[in-house]
Structure 1
Amino acid sequence: MTTLKHISFDLDGTLINSFGNMKIAWQGATEALHINCGFSEYRRYVGLPFPKIMEMLGLKNYTTELSEEYFTRTRALAGNIPEIPGAKDLVKLCRDEGYKVSIITSKPRKNSEDIVEKMGFQVDELICGDDFTKGKPDPYAGFLVCKKLGVTPAETLYVGDMVFDFQFALNAGMQFVYFDDNGANRMPSNMVNHCDRIHTLPELAARLA
């Protein structure tokens, strides 16, 4: 097995529980623009680049306006986002054990940097939606972060909570661990049976210590 040198994390649903704030922001943004699209529909595609989500929802023509409304509202709520239990300790442990640590998210940088700073996540690289034109499951962001950190994808473990995270890791040639948050996160059974899984973040911490 290839030596592990780098641990990379998804942000939403993996390190932070931001879905409550997302719901408030999405409902406010769609109401302001008189768009009829519930949060449950949007939630299905979280993890993909925002323009791709808009395309999937049939809202491509509203991408610019809805992006501005939505991300302005999520930034205003950023101070109220709780961490997933054990997230900060896990990130610190990874660094203490000598691993390179990164976060890859589809969020815009001005949203992501604020959250990462407020949560106290100390990482070597933060790759955001502004850094690439093709988001998950395209492997570009994975190649980018590995190049920046001087590691290979095979030396990288990606931790995520969505099917798009699994596909992304496979496409990039990374190792992968699926975080199911004690069953709160769901992945198709034909896929989840073929990936490593943890129920809590402390489980991964115990493996790495």
Structure 2
Amino acid sequence: MSLIRRRKSLVLFDLDGVIVDSRSNMEAAWTAVMRDTGVTVPFSAYFAEIGRPFQDIMARLGLAHDGRRIEATFRRTSSLLLGETPLFDGVEPMLAAAAASGVKLGIVTSKDSARTQLVLDRLDVHFMIVMTPEERMRGKPAPDHLLYAMAMCNIDPAETIFVGDMESDAEAARRAGVDYAHAEWGYGERPDHYSLSAASPAILATQLFG
């Protein structure tokens, strides 16, 4: 299904579940959290909330009182394992096709800047804008990071598409007034409202850049 309104000049990608297959990384990090902090909330509950800023997830899980310590433990373990965390099959050719098409590329993720950079260092492509959580803006599903990315790239919403895999991604795109492409190879169910949906990076590359 494709409801794309026009050819795009800016393609913004989520990171986890779209570029990098980080579920096993997150599970190992959450296991460390449970071991080192005494948290008893299961990984499945944490994983159901991914896509949002970490401290928002902590609040939703009733862990806000210890959120900073939990996040420090999570980040430390996740960072140590990121080098062996795989990219999704077909992501690198998809990004190469995007770059060759001449569109501008960006990242909008709820992963912190240090771990985001560890992933991006593995990719041979230039991202014009990389948006990670910071205190001045609300995280997804709020549209703030998408709106800021478009402003910094001097691109209108009608010329932009956001590629994500979670309901929070789709909601952020809707609130920002941009088309949403759902990565079916990721972690979330396809939302009710989307502009296109692709079963693999190769198919998405054909839909957007072919």
For normalisation by structure 1, the TM-score amounts to 0.92
Report the Cα distance in structure 1 between the residues aligned to 2:194 and 2:169, rounded to whole angstroms: 14
Is 1:168 the equivalent of 2:172?
A: yes
Distance 1:195 1:5, change over 3 A: closer
Structure 2 equivalent of residue 196 of structure 1: 196
Residue-by-residue CA offset, 1:15-70 (whole Å, 9 max, x unaligned):
11001011001111221001101110000010001111000000000111011110
The answer to whether the 8 Å contact 1:180/1:199 transfers is: yes
The answer to whether the 8 Å contact 1:92/1:122 transfers is: no
Which amino acid in structure 2 is aligned with residue 14 of structure 1?
V
Extract structure 1 runs of 4+ deviating beyond 6 A.
none
Structure 2 equivalent of residue 12 of structure 1: 16
The answer to whether the 8 Å contact 1:132/1:140 transfers is: no
> Unmatched 5+ residue regions in structure 2?
none
Distance 1:192 1:201, change over 3 A: farther
Report the Cα distance in structure 2 between the residues aligned to 1:83 and 1:131, rounded to whole angstroms: 28
Is 1:37 the equivalent of 2:53?
A: no
Is 1:75 the equivalent of 2:89?
A: no
Report the Cα distance in structure 2 between the residues aligned to 1:132 and 1:81, rounded to whole angstroms: 30
Distance 1:171 1:163, change over 3 A: same
Identity %: 24
Report the Cα distance in structure 1 between the residues aligned to 2:200 and 2:94, rounded to whole angstroms: 11
Is 1:187 the equivalent of 2:165?
A: no
> Unmatched 5+ residue regions in structure 1?
none
Which amino acid in structure 1 is aligned with residue 47 of structure 2?
R
Report the Cα distance in structure 2 between the residues aligned to 1:125 and 1:43, rounded to whole angstroms: 26
Structure having greater relative contact order (Cα 8 Å, sep ≥ 6): 2
Q: 1:124 aligns with which of 128, 152, 159?
A: 128
- After TM superposition, give the deviation of residue 160 of structure 1 in Å: 0.7
Q: 1:99 aligns with which of 99, 103, 107?
A: 103
The answer to whether the 8 Å contact 2:10/2:160 transfers is: yes
Secondary structure in 2 aligned to 1:129?
Answer: coil
Is 1:136 the equivalent of 2:160?
A: no
The answer to whether the 8 Å contact 1:47/1:105 transfers is: yes
Question: Which 10-residue stretch deviates more, 118-127 or 14-23?
Answer: 118-127
Secondary structure in 2 aligned to 1:67?
Answer: helix
The answer to whether the 8 Å contact 1:158/1:175 transfers is: yes
The answer to whether the 8 Å contact 1:103/1:126 transfers is: yes
Structure 2 equivalent of residue 205 of structure 1: 205
- After TM superposition, give the deviation of residue 131 of structure 1 in Å: 6.5
- After TM superposition, give the deviation of residue 118 of structure 1 in Å: 2.3
Secondary structure in 2 aligned to 1:15?
Answer: coil
Report the Cα distance in structure 2 between the residues aligned to 1:121 and 1:25, rounded to whole angstroms: 28
The answer to whether the 8 Å contact 1:153/1:172 transfers is: yes
Report the Cα distance in structure 2 between the residues aligned to 1:203 and 1:138, rounded to whole angstroms: 28
Structure 2 equivalent of residue 112 of structure 1: 116
**Count of residue pairs the alignment pairs up:** 205
